[in-house]
Chain A
Amino acid sequence: MQPVIAVESVSKSFGAVTAVNGVTLDVRPNECLALLGPSGCGKTTLLRLIAGLEAADRGRILIDGADMTHAAPYARPVNMMFQSYALFPHMSVADNVAFGLKQDGVKGDALKARVQDALAAVEMEALAQRMPAQLSGGQKQRAALARCLAKRPRALLLDEPMAALDKHLRERTQFELMALRKRLGIAFVVVTHDQSEAMAMADRVAVMDAGHVLQVAAPREMYERPASRRVAQFFGDINVWSAVVGLAPGTVDIPDLRLAVRIPAALPSAGSPLSVALRPERIAIARDPAPMGDCSVSGTIEDAVYLGMTCTYFVTLSSGAVVRVTAQNGEGAQTFSRGDAVHLSWRPAALTVLAA
């Protein structure tokens, strides 16, 4: 299946700063791809390169198989929703939506109909004659969305779509946006720095750091099998320990835990350094020792943070290492406080082996 957008070894520098460094990435038809990373990682630059608002120093950008590396932004069949929405302040919502269509020479009744359709898709028909300054944040976002969708782009590029919205609006908007995408069947590329937003919206996530794409995977795979320590740490909370491959076949020594565990995965030769990662919610916490078969350590609660649905505990082990544990709050759930002696346990399969 031909990708809608193919980014091939693209680099872009601003002066001495390399914002995007040899990135290769495909956007598949109808998928939502999230570009996730800390600010300054190059994700917005990558989006602007796809839109044609920046010129690539090296590499190629193909849209529907056609080389668009040097095409002007107005000649590319993709549209961008800006972080600020960039609505034209001197035009009504309807005129904003019509703007892009007029550039394509759409006129008369066809123009009216397509503006109407686009506004209907985002439920903004009633506000068509409003000026942008008279809209709320959520309405502005929908107007900007309608303006892009009216052009029926091959892909929609969204730069931090939720950044300008109030927190309570975000979750609902994410959901609406995804429902709209499925209905229209076009590809989305979403730039975000928010891991939960990426997980909620995206079919696949590309984690970026310092101009590189570190890993591209579905959210679940990314969460459960991060490719590297960096990805693991960026994508949700995680405990990461240094470890070495043990002398007994299939075992790993973790000095911080004073533990040797059997790991059901292919391992390098004995004595090789590596990292072992464990999600905090995969750890069971209890006053009593764990049943046989699970990995188990004991320690003291250093700090307990109540977060409503869950509690997060920081448990100090005898080695001095601190383990982060997340426990569900619920009926009959045990709670602990600072100074309590506890036992932590998990199944060996919950451990992820990473390169050192």
Chain B
Amino acid sequence: MRRPSGTTIALIAGLAFLYVPLAVVIGYSFNASKLVTVWTGFSFTWYGALLADEQILNAARNSLIVAFTSATLAAVLGTMAGYAFARFGRFRGRNLLAGSIAAPLVMPDVMTGLSLLLLFVALEQTFAWLPGRGLITIIIAHAGFAMAYVTVIVRARLIGMERDIEEAAADLGAKPMTVFFGITLPMIRPAVMAGWLLSFVLSLDDLVIASFVSGPQSTTLPMVVFSSIRLGVSPKINALAAILIIVTLVLLALAAWMSRGALRMRPAK
């Protein structure tokens, strides 16, 4: 047998490092004991307790509403911006727009959160817009940073896509709108869908920004999870964490399955 190389070992170790903690959480979510570290038997107790927790269910509903709406908004805005960057060449303010859209990708969440909150307060003071804040302000905040991801993904896809396919459509008599909706959009659909999904997951995941901009009645799931974690490890949170991990995996598998068709359509190079 060939001796495994250093990089193979690093790869295996790195993957173990990534997955072992998650596996432990999922494993212990089925622990019957209230003590988190002592295994006493297999049980769904904590899943039951989770489903009976009004606060968590309410927060989960809020999170889903926010994630769905903001991801959809981000997909529309990000597709427009990504299209502009890939197809318009130079235009006035291109660098400023590119920087402003991309900055939230890396900007620490505390900065994004605080600045948006101060904006929302100022808008409320000055124009009485968005009074009291709530889910709508979280949706706006999430759509903003998610748009950055969609823009990057859509732009990369469009740059990789030969422009002559769109030109062929124009040459065959299609007007710009028809070209976009009939040719461009179907071809970048996997990218837009990936962007939407990423936006959805990121929104579902965000604690810091939501904590800043949410109103008093609009608690999201990460906010509930965070306050319980601060109080310590609990089996109920193990169960919730396990559900979150599994839901994400199922969503991703679904996305991968859907994009298989898209991959098959791609022209052979």
**Which A residues contact B (CB, under 8 angstroms)?**
51-53, 72-76, 79-80, 82-84, 86-90, 99-100, 103-104, 131-133, 147-148, 151
- Please tell me if the beta carbons of A147 and B267 are within 8 angstroms of each other in the complex: no
Instruction: Give A132 to B186 CA distance when docked, in angstroms.
Output: 15
Q: For chain B residues 146-173, which have a beta carbon within 8 Å of chain A?
A: 162, 164-165, 167-173
Instruction: Give A240 to B172 CA distance when docked, in angstroms.
Output: 46
Q: Which residue of B lies closest to A77 (CB)?
A: B173
- Please tell me if the beta carbons of B266 and A86 are within 8 angstroms of each other in the complex: no
In the complex, chain B residues whose CB is within 8 Å of the CB of A103: 172-175, 178
A63 to chain B, nearest CB (A): 13
Q: Which residue of A lies closest to B172 (CB)?
A: A100
Number of A-B contacts (CB under 8 A): 77
A166 to chain B, nearest CB (A): 14
Given A133-B265, A133-B268, do A74 and B165 touch, yes or no (CB 8 Å)? no
B259 to chain A, nearest CB (A): 13
- Please tell me if the beta carbons of B173 and A86 are within 8 angstroms of each other in the complex: no
In the complex, chain B residues whose CB is within 8 Å of the CB of A133: 264-268
Given A84-B164, A89-B267, do A53 and B169 touch, yes or no (CB 8 Å)? no
B183 to chain A, nearest CB (A): 6
- Please tell me if the beta carbons of B187 and A151 are within 8 angstroms of each other in the complex: no
Q: Is the interface of B mostly helix, strand, loop or mixed?
A: helix
- Please tell me if the beta carbons of B265 and A80 are within 8 angstroms of each other in the complex: no
A75 to chain B, nearest CB (A): 8
B96 to chain A, nearest CB (A): 23
A-B contact pairs, 16 of them (CB 8 A): A51-B171, A52-B170, A52-B171, A82-B164, A84-B164, A87-B165, A88-B165, A88-B183, A88-B187, A89-B265, A90-B187, A90-B265, A99-B174, A100-B172, A103-B175, A133-B264
Contact of A86 among B162, B264, B268 (CB under 8 A): B162
In the complex, chain A residues whose CB is within 8 Å of the CB of B264: 131, 133
Q: Which residue of A lies closest to B182 (CB)?
A: A99
- Please tell me if the beta carbons of B267 and A132 are within 8 angstroms of each other in the complex: yes
The range of chain B's interface size is 20 to 34
Instruction: Give A8 to B182 CA distance when docked, in angstroms.
Output: 35
Instruction: Give A129 to B165 CA distance when docked, in angstroms.
Output: 19
Known pairs A53-B167, A90-B265 / 19 extra A-B pairs, C-beta < 8 Å:
A52-B171, A53-B171, A73-B167, A73-B170, A74-B172, A74-B173, A74-B175, A79-B171, A82-B167, A86-B165, A87-B267, A88-B169, A88-B187, A90-B187, A100-B173, A100-B174, A103-B175, A103-B178, A133-B265
Q: Which residue of A lies closest to B262 (CB)?
A: A90
Q: Which residue of A lies closest to B186 (CB)?
A: A90
Q: Which residue of B lies closest to A103 (CB)?
A: B173
Given A82-B164, A84-B162, A103-B178, do A89 and B266 touch, yes or no (CB 8 Å)? yes
A186 to chain B, nearest CB (A): 15
- Please tell me if the beta carbons of B170 and A86 are within 8 angstroms of each other in the complex: no
Given A89-B187, A133-B264, do A99 and B167 touch, yes or no (CB 8 Å)? no
Instruction: Give A80 to B167 CA distance when docked, in angstroms.
Output: 9
In the complex, chain B residues whose CB is within 8 Å of the CB of A86: 162, 164-165, 167-168
In the complex, chain A residues whose CB is within 8 Å of the CB of B174: 74, 99-100, 103
A95 to chain B, nearest CB (A): 10
